[in-house]
Amino acid sequence: MFDVLLARWKQGHRTMRYPAGPPPELPERFAGRPTIEASRCTPECGRCVEVCPTGAVGFGSAGHDVRIDTGRCLFCRACEAVCDAGAIVFSRDYRMAASRREDLVVRDAAERAAVELGEESRRLFGRSLRLRQVSAGGCNACEADTNVLGTPAWDLGRFGIQFVASPRHADGLLITGPVPENMRHALQATYDAVGRPKLVIVVGACAISGGPYADHPEVHNGAATLLPVDLFVPGCPPHPLTILHALLELLRKIPESTGP
């Protein structure tokens, strides 16, 4: 026991200061919220639309107002790579979650989407939040980045947020994966087992829209087609910082000065 305590003392403090301090350093290849400059776009080009594997990139009725649906986006940056005009650039902004599905669509000069929770729900869940994680046919990438939040460096529990083993002990669900038909009943039964009021949080492109499996006959294009969703966290997979920020913002535990 003494050796264990001595080893921990030598290791020092491992938990990051965020959100009271700066966020952890992001990897060099991190692709955050895309930015669009429509004035640089040439509508007749259309290469960004052609290379997108999930149909996340498109044009509005004006013809030149390119937009990216981050709920479908895999953040592969193929559209950025083929845009010689530089109209599409993926930023380093990890703050990408939204409470409304339509707010995940990024347009020219679009403001960052809002994460909102009703006052009564925030009163009930703001001090502590217990979530049951459901992997609805995911590839384990979103699941892995969610599990990272339980490590000493991230220490999700210090905010009163924990994952539980039973939906009957949970305040809501955190869902990953495109929800194939074989998981539909299991997901619905898990949701029904959570007491009311309850939250539903979907993490990753698959859980939001079906991701690369969208419109497959065996896939339900994400959880929102089956359940009411309170929080959408885009990414493929989302970085743990994106997930953590979304959860803390939902509960209003983010200082106003915190940013990328």
Express each pLDDT in 67-84 by its tens digit. Answer: 999 999 999 999 999 999
Every domain of the chain and the residues it spans: 119-250
Mean of per-residue pLDDT scores for the chain: 91
What is the structure's pLDDT at 255? Answer: 73
- Are the C-beta atoms of residues 48 and 88 closer than 8 Å to each other? yes
Give alpha helix (H) positions in 101-213.
119-125, 141-148, 181-193, 205-209
Question: In which band, very low, low, confident or very high, does the pLDDT at 13 lie, cut at 50, 70 and 90?
Answer: low
- Are the C-beta atoms of residues 195 and 169 closer than 8 Å to each other? no
User: What number is the average pLDDT over the span 108-123?
Assistant: 83
Q: Quote the CA–CA distance of 44 and 34 in Å, as a whole number.
A: 21
Question: In which band, very low, low, confident or very high, does the pLDDT at 238 lie, cut at 50, 70 and 90?
Answer: very high
More confident residue, 125 or 129: 129
Peptide bond into 255 cis (omega under 30): no
Q: Kindly give the interhelix angle for 141-148 and 240-250, rounded to the nearest 10 degrees.
A: 60
- Residue 62 is given by DSSP the state T
For the ranges 36-50, 94-108, 181-195, 201-215, which has the lowest average pLDDT? 36-50
Cα torsion 23, 259, 41, 57: sign? positive
**pTM, two decimal places:** 0.91
More confident residue, 218 or 43: 218
Q: What is the pLDDT of residues 25-67, one digit of tens each?
A: 999 999 999 999 988 887 678 899 999 999 999 987 665 688 9
What is the structure's pLDDT at 260? Answer: 56
- Are the C-beta atoms of residues 187 and 134 closer than 8 Å to each other? yes
Q: Quote the CA–CA distance of 167 and 75 in Å, as a whole number.
A: 32
Q: Quote the CA–CA distance of 150 and 230 in Å, as a whole number.
A: 22
Q: Quote the CA–CA distance of 143 and 148 in Å, as a whole number.
A: 9
What is the structure's pLDDT at 147? Answer: 95
Pairing of strands 105-106, 66-69: antiparallel
**Quick check: 119 pLDDT over 90?**
no
Q: What percent of the chain has pLDDT over 90?
A: 74
What is the structure's pLDDT at 145? Answer: 96
- CATH class name, domain 119-250: alpha beta
Q: What is the pLDDT of residues 224-235, one digit of tens each?
A: 999 999 999 999
| Structure token pair of residue 80 | 């950025």
What is the structure's pLDDT at 257? Answer: 45
